[in-house]
Amino acid sequence: MKKPIVCCDFDGTITKNDNIIRIMKHFAPSEWTKLKDDVLTKEITIQEGVGQMFQLLKSDQKEAIQSFILEDTEIREGFKQFVNHVKKADIPFYVLSGGMDFFVYHILEGIVEREDIFCNHASFHEEHIQIEWPHACDSQCQNGCGCCKPSIIRELTSENDFIIMIGDSVTDVEAAKHADLTFARDYLLNECKELGLVHEEYETFIDLKAQFDQIKEVKEWQTKRTSAGRS
């Protein structure tokens, strides 16, 4: 019997918007758009592009950025209830984010434990913000992901796990290929369709929770646990 494990993207999935884009639009000089375009056309890797974008920002802007992000970040409906639901079922829940600890931890405070969050680290010791990459690509990935979701999944899971991926965009595609089931919306939804990956569509965590309960593997696993507990 496979054991479910949930890996969930952050930007555009848990939050409605992409936080890096919002930070750059608000705080960075116009050079950031060239870096963004170079990432999109794969001229440079995500790791290079995002690292250089943050170097455009001064370290003393940390607090201003944090309060800006906290002020109007919208979390997708039903997220907290969904996480509690998954935890109650004793299913591991991890957040895999290409964002930075100084805002991801903040937004998820009281919902997801820090040790269950995998993201990049921002350092404020120099004049400009430096990004460090504690979860960079392993030897099996050469994409320069920055925060490498397939590498984290390889590290976190074993063959006996039923991997459930939740995401929305281009950085989730490789992770979805490793998953047994992907909950997808937006760009990722089209990719799942094109690549023929096993997937379900979602818009909020309310409908995700309803679908989650339908998953046969999760149900069987829970039944098994319950009966094992009773005997």
Q: Which one, 122 or 166, has the nearer CB to Mg ion? A: 166
137 binds Zn ion per the rule CB under 5 A: yes
Task: Name the residue type at position 120.
Answer: N
Quick one: which of 7, 11, 182, 218 contacts Mg ion (CB under 5 A)?
11
Q: How many Å apart are CA 91 and CA 219, to the nearest integer?
A: 11
- Looking at residues 142 to 171 of the shown chain, list those that interact with Mg ion (rule: CB under 5 A): 168-169
148 binds Zn ion per the rule CB under 5 A: yes
Quick one: which of 45, 61, 73, 143 contacts Zn ion (CB under 5 A)?
143
Q: Are 66 and 37 within 8 A, CB to CB? A: no
The pair of three-digit structure tokens given for residue 42, joined into one six-digit string: 């794969």
Quick one: which of 83, 86, 104, 145 contacts Zn ion (CB under 5 A)?
145
Least Cα distance to 13 among 87, 103, 98 occurs for 98
Quick one: which of 56, 75, 141, 215 contacts Zn ion (CB under 5 A)?
141
Quick one: which of 4, 12, 51, 99 contacts Mg ion (CB under 5 A)?
12
Q: Count H helices, E strands: the chain? A: 11, 7
191 binds Mg ion per the rule CB under 5 A: no
Q: How many Å apart are CA 143 and CA 45, to the nearest integer?
A: 7
Q: Which one, 90 or 201, has the nearer CB to Mg ion? A: 201
